[in-house]
C-alpha cells in the first residue's frame, strides 16, 4: 500500500488543492509537556534497592484543525513519545495517541488509537487530584508490584491494563471508533467500538484465542451543570466485550459524582469488574473498587487528598481477595504560565490473599512540569 507522508507544507498543499471544499486551510499547532520527578520510596519489598530515583516524561502533541464550507470540523491529533527510553506504560514506542476527528452540530467522531468513552467520560476521585493525579498518578513508577494481580488504580479493564502491573496502559489506546453526542440540557452520551482489545496502531491480529477479548464496546453517560459558584457532575460508564476462547467476557462499569463550590471539590466513585478477562471456571473472581477525594484550588495553589480501596478476586476457592488501599496527598503551584512545581505523598498497602507477598509502603514525589 502506498504511504503518504504529510508535513506542515504537505498539509497546506493538500488543503489548497481541495480549496473548493474547504473554507479555511487546516492549521497545524504543536504543544506538549516535559515532566521531571524525584521519587523517594520505602516499602516492604525494597530489599537491595536504593530509596531514591529520578524519572523524566516528555511528550510532543501535534494538532491539525480545519473546517469545510459546510461547517464540518475535521483534523487529527498525534501525541508523540519524546523520551530517551520506550514508554514504560506500553502505550507505544513512537506515539501514545494518533487519531482523526470529525465534528459538527451532530456531535463528534474520533477514529484511531485513542482513549474510549469509558475512560474520557468517567468521574472518580482522581478527576479532582492535583500534582501528578493522586491515586491515578505517578506513584506507580516508584513502588514495587507484588507479582500478583490488584486493582491499583480506579479504572475499568481497558484503561487499567494488566492487574499484575502498576501503571500499565497497553490497551488504553487500542484502535477504535468513538462517537460523542452534543450536550443536551447538561447530558452527553458516548460510545466506542474496538474489534480487538489489544490491537493498536498498525497491528491487526484478528485472533480469538488467548486471554484477551474482541468486539469491545464502551458506553458513557454524564451530566454537568453549574449554578453560580456550585457545580455538579455525574457519570455512568461501562465496558463490555466477548472474551477469547477460555476467557470470561468483559463486563465492567463505574458510577461517579463530583461536586464543586467556591474552589472546593469532592468526588467519589464505585467500579465493578465482575469477572472480566478471568479464566473460565474460576471461583471468587468478582472484583471492585471505590474512591473518595477532596480538593481545593485557590488561584495558583491547589491541594488534594484522594483515596482508593479495592478487592481483586484471587480465583482460588476460599482464598479470599487481593486487597489494595492507597491514600495520596498532593499540592501544586502554578509558578508561571505552563510551569507547575508539585509534591505528592502516597501511602499504599497491598494485602494478598495468601499474605506471602504483602507490601506496604510510601512514595514521596517532588517534581516540575512544563507544559507548552
Q: How many domains does the chain have?
A: 1
> Alpha-carbon distance 182 to 108, whole Å?
8
CATH of the domain at 61: 2.40.160.10
- Which residue is associated with the grid cell 521519587? 39
> What pLDDT, in 10s, does the model give residues 235-271?
999 999 999 888 899 999 999 999 999 999 999 999 9
- Mean pLDDT, rounded, for 51-57: 96
Q: What is the pTM of this model?
A: 0.89
> Alpha-carbon distance 257 to 236, whole Å?
9
Asked if residue 13 belongs to a domain, the reply is no
Asked if residue 20 belongs to a domain, the reply is no
Asked if residue 16 belongs to a domain, the reply is no
Q: What is the pLDDT of residue 56?
A: 96
Asked if residue 21 belongs to a domain, the reply is no
- Domain containing 225: what range? 26-371
Asked if residue 14 belongs to a domain, the reply is no
Residue scoring higher pLDDT (166 or 346): 346
> Alpha-carbon distance 110 to 212, whole Å?
23
Asked if residue 5 belongs to a domain, the reply is no
Q: Is the pLDDT of residue 14 over 60?
A: no
User: Sign of the C-alpha dihedral, residues 69, 71, 72, 78?
Assistant: positive
Asked if residue 143 belongs to a domain, the reply is yes
> What pLDDT, in 10s, does the model give residues 194-251?
999 999 999 998 888 778 899 999 999 999 999 999 999 999 999 999 998 888 999 9
Confidence of residue 23 (pLDDT cuts 50, 70, 90): low
Asked if residue 9 belongs to a domain, the reply is no
Among 20-34, 89-103, 148-162, where is mean pLDDT lowest?
20-34
Say if residues 261 and 294 touch (Cβ distance below 8 Å): no
Residue 244: name the closest of 267, 278, 218, 217 by CA.
Answer: 278
φ and ψ at residue 250, rounded to 5 degrees: -80, 130
Q: What is the pLDDT of residue 321?
A: 86
Amino acid at each position: 500500500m502506498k504511504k503518504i507522508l504529510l508535513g506542515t507544507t504537505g498539509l497546506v498543499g493538500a488543503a489548497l488543492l481541495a480549496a473548493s471544499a474547504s473554507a479555511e486551510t487546516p492549521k497545524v499547532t504543536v504543544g506538549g509537556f516535559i515532566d521531571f520527578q524525584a521519587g523517594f520510596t520505602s516499602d516492604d519489598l525494597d530489599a537491595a534497592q536504593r530509596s531514591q530515583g529520578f524519572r523524566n516524561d516528555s511528550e510532543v502533541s501535534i494538532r491539525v484543525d480545519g473546517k469545510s464550507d459546510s461547517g464540518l470540523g475535521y483534523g487529527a491529533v498525534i501525541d508523540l513519545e519524546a523520551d530517551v527510553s520506550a514508554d514504560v506504560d506500553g502505550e507505544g514506542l513512537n506515539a501514545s495517541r494518533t487519531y482523526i476527528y470529525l465534528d459538527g452540530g451532530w456531535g463528534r467522531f474520533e477514529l484511531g488509537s485513542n482513549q474510549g468513552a469509558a475512560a474520557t467520560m468517567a468521574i472518580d476521585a482522581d478527576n479532582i487530584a492535583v500534582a501528578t493525579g493522586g491515586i491515578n498518578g505517578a506513584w506507580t513508577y516508584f513502588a514495587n508490584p507484588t507479582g500478583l494481580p490488584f486493582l491499583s488504580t480506579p479504572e475499568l479493564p481497558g484503561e487499567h491494563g494488566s492487574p499484575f502491573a502498576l501503571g500499565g496502559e497497553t490497551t488504553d489506546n487500542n484502535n477504535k471508533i468513538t462517537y460523542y453526542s452534543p450536550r443536551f440540557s447538561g447530558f452527553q452520551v458516548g460510545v466506542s467500538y474496538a474489534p480487538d482489545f489489544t490491537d493498536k496502531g498498525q497491528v491487526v491480529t484478528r485472533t480469538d484465542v488467548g486471554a484477551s477479548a474482541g468486539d469491545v464496546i464502551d458506553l458513557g453517560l454524564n451530566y454537568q451543570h453549574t449554578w453560580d459558584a456550585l457545580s455538579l457532575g455525574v457519570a455512568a460508564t461501562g465496558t463490555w466485550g466477548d472474551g477469547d476462547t477460555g476467557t470470561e467476557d468483559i463486563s465492567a462499569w463505574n458510577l461517579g459524582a463530583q461536586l464543586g463550590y467556591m474552589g472546593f471539590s469532592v468526588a467519589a466513585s464505585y467500579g465493578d469488574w465482575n469477572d472480566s478477562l478471568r479464566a473460565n471456571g474460576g471461583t471468587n473472581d468478582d472484583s471492585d473498587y471505590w474512591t473518595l477525594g477532596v480538593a481545593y484550588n485557590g488561584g495558583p495553589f491547589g491541594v488534594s487528598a484522594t483515596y482508593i480501596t479495592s478487592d481483586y478476586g484471587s480465583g482460588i476457592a476460599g482464598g479470599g481477595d487481593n486487597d489494595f488501599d492507597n491514600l495520596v496527598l498532593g499540592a501544586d503551584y502554578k509558578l508561571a504560565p505552563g510551569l507547575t512545581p508539585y509534591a505528592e505523598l502516597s501511602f499504599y498497602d497491598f494485602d494478598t490473599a495468601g499474605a506471602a507477598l504483602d507490601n506496604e509502603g510510601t512514595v514521596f514525589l517532588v517534581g516540575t512540569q512544563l507544559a507548552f
